[in-house]
Amino acid sequence: MIQKYVFGKPIETGAVVQEIPETKSEILVMNQNVMEDKVVLFCKMEEEDIIYGLGEQVRGINKRGFSYISDATDDPIHTEGKHSLYGAHNFLIVNGRKIFGIFVDNPGKVVFDVGETSMETLTITTGKDCVIYIIEGESLKEVVKQFRQLIGRSYIAPKWAFGYQQSRWGYENEKDIREVVSGYQENGIPLEAVYLDIDYMEGYKDFTVDKEKFPKFSEFVEELKEQQIHLVPIIDAGVKVEEGYSIYEEGIANDYFCKDEEGENFTAAVWPGKVHFPDVLNAKAREWFGGKYRYLMEQGIDGFWNDMNEPAIFYSEKNLKKVIEEISAMKDKNLDIHSFFYLKDLVCSLSNSSKDYASFYHNMNGRKICHKDVHNLYGFYMTKAAAKAFEKIDPEKRVLLFSRSSYIGMHRYGGIWTGDNHAWWQQLLMSIQQMPSLNMCGILYTGSDIGGFGGDTTKDLLLRWLEFGIFTPLMRNHSAAGTRKQEVYQFGDTTDFRNIIRIRYALIPYLYSEFMKAALEDEMYFRPLAFDYPEDKQAKRVEDQLMVGESIMIAPVYTQNAVGRYVYLPEEMLMVCMTSPEEKRFEVLEKGHHYISVSLNEVVFFVKKNHVLLLAALNEKVKTTADLEQASYEWIGYVPEKAEYLFYQDDGISKKYLSKKNWKVCKFTKEDFSNGYLKKEN
């Protein structure tokens, strides 16, 4: 059951697709207090209550004990003291005597105090104009399913986007890209895509290609496609202020940019220096900006990543002027501790300033709206602009699209990656814990920068991250300029890296099938253990193991120098240990706590009782997802009685998701696995 409560005059965000009648009641499930400029909701939490959700956030799967702020923020230092990251995902679930979800549909700042101020109280503070949905259900899965139906079907990426992808800020030209491709090919390591960061552009200008670096870009794209390698360019939110630049001039001529208080085009700065922001909340401007993706698509591009779309601001023209004047006034003064730190904070305050976000405006459906009131929608609507354009440019084809910033509702148009993380072990654990929270909010096509974006990764960290990353739909190795190169062939002997990435390709038939079921049936691909074992009190407290699809549980290693870890099994399971697609060992473990050894080159996962797992039986010729079409299959199964598996397979590129031809029911009895736990497909 879903109840809808409307406060004030809420902005239509586009998050919800299902019509829900307004509940005419002054009393919510929780206490509520409508103040002059905000709505505050209170909910008493019992000691055993667990709070799930909030999508892309810091800390654990259970969100109790901290405050989280939905306020999309360009901040690459994702330590556990931070309250905001790049996305705003205002949905949580209370798992107590009563199970219910809360969705706060407000595109401005929302604060979720989940027991930080008072350990027994959940307090949600939001603006006075909002819609609040209360979703009740008999189980955690039922609450999620209702919410997912409320907000619409998740984006489905092309099948090639489930292959291994390589990115780095710093691939400057064709030569650099060719070196990356040959580095993988010469070492026999599968590779599906190489990314183009801001270096490919002419002067950091959107929808341009530097002709000196890429003199025959369309031919280069085609050259790579013949090798089944896709090029995926970045698109940033800011349009460079430059006479003669067609995107800038068209935006000026048609009034497509955000405005300041005086009605002038708001000027900020990012990579190219001064920029204007396309007013993607304006339908005409959004259609115009989305149409610009055509330029790259006509040259063979079939995947994009949208970045800097919180929107990130290095500085605004007006704020920079004020800060420089204030700094100039300090010249020749004796700066004591207070004045020095004031100076330091003054400079740091230039970037992503709340004052800047309060100083520019959108034209949304003919209504002038201050950006701070819709701040969390910008990344959503930039990605929607692209997705809607793709429907016109190539309506039957799936295009890879994901974004850094997002709001609930964007999941219908693209995925996300979890932003500019660091090569820290703690960030690997955070990535594991973010996945189910993002799935609850409809974001299925997601993953983190494997190995860490910032800082220098290490061989062991990269191996362990890959061992988790083989299960995430987006499997991308990405690093920053100036850091250690982290293409997997940069670390000496490539045997372990090659085998782990090949295991990913062996798993794709299962992973893709489970992803498609989750998308088409409004369910979760990643789940906390408590979703599958609601009566198991110990399962509720597990923070570092996940269910993946219907058949398996994973327990990644995420600590330095570890040669194993403790695992909790909520039922008897089959442990599968793989050092390559060909090398597997099996062991049945009883319910309970176990210490398991996990070598640095080993992938370990667990198959549920009376469940099966489909793998591609790889040969050395398999280098991309396209090659999987020629592979045979094998089943891993733990079937003491019988099992049934619904296998999904389509062409991987069209939008004919619902064809009955895509589904196959596979049935097994214990006799099928009488010789062990492996069955070759006939």
Q: Distance between CA atoms of 229 and 190, rounded to whole angstroms?
A: 10
What are 25-57's pLDDT values in tens digits? 655 545 556 556 899 999 999 999 999 999 999
The pLDDT, as a whole number, for residue 259 is 98
| Given 49, 75, 197, 310, the catalytic residue | 310
Instruction: Measure the CA–CA gap between 245 and 223, rounded to whole angstroms.
Output: 29
Global pTM reads: 0.96
- Chain centroid offset of residue 9 CA: 31
Annotated catalytic residue, options 302, 420, 523, 602 = 420
User: Where are the alpha helices (H) located in 279-414, listed in sequence order?
Assistant: 283-291, 294-297, 317-328, 337-348, 354-357, 378-393
Show the low-confidence residues of the chain (pLDDT under 50): 29
Residue 605, pLDDT score: 98
Q: Which residue has the tokens 């209360």?
A: 134
Q: Residue 82, class by beta-carbon neighbours within 10 Å (0-12 exposed, 13-18 middle, 19+ buried)?
A: middle
310 labelled catalytic: yes
Catalytic: 136?
no
* Dist. CA 387–CA 368, nearest whole Å: 25
Reading the block at residue 377, the tokens are 């929608």
Distance CA 194, CA 171 (A): 9
Distance CA 82, CA 385 (A): 30
Specify whether the CB–CB gap between 362 and 311 falls below 8 A: no
Q: Which residues, in sequence order, are CB contacts of 55 under 8 Å at separation 6+?
A: 87, 88, 89, 91, 408, 434, 437, 438, 440, 441, 443
Active site residue 307: yes
Selected catalytic residue, list 75, 236, 307, 550 = 307
- pLDDT confidence of residue 675: 84
Q: Amino acid identity of 272? A: P
What pLDDT was estimated at residue 29? 44
Displacement of CA 231 from its chain's centroid (Å): 20
Report the DSSP pairing between strands 475-477 and 164-166.
parallel
- Three-state SS string across 153-185, please? CCCCCCHHHHCEEECCCCCCCHHHHHHHHHHHH
Contacts of 254 (CB under 8 A, 6+ apart): 284, 285, 288
Alpha-carbon distance 139 to 134, whole Å? 14
- R_g (Cα) of the chain, nearest Å: 25
d(CA 207, CA 382): 14
Q: At a CB cut-off of 8 Å and minimum separation 6, what does 520 contact?
A: 153, 657, 658
Strands 367-370 and 446-447, how do they pair? unpaired
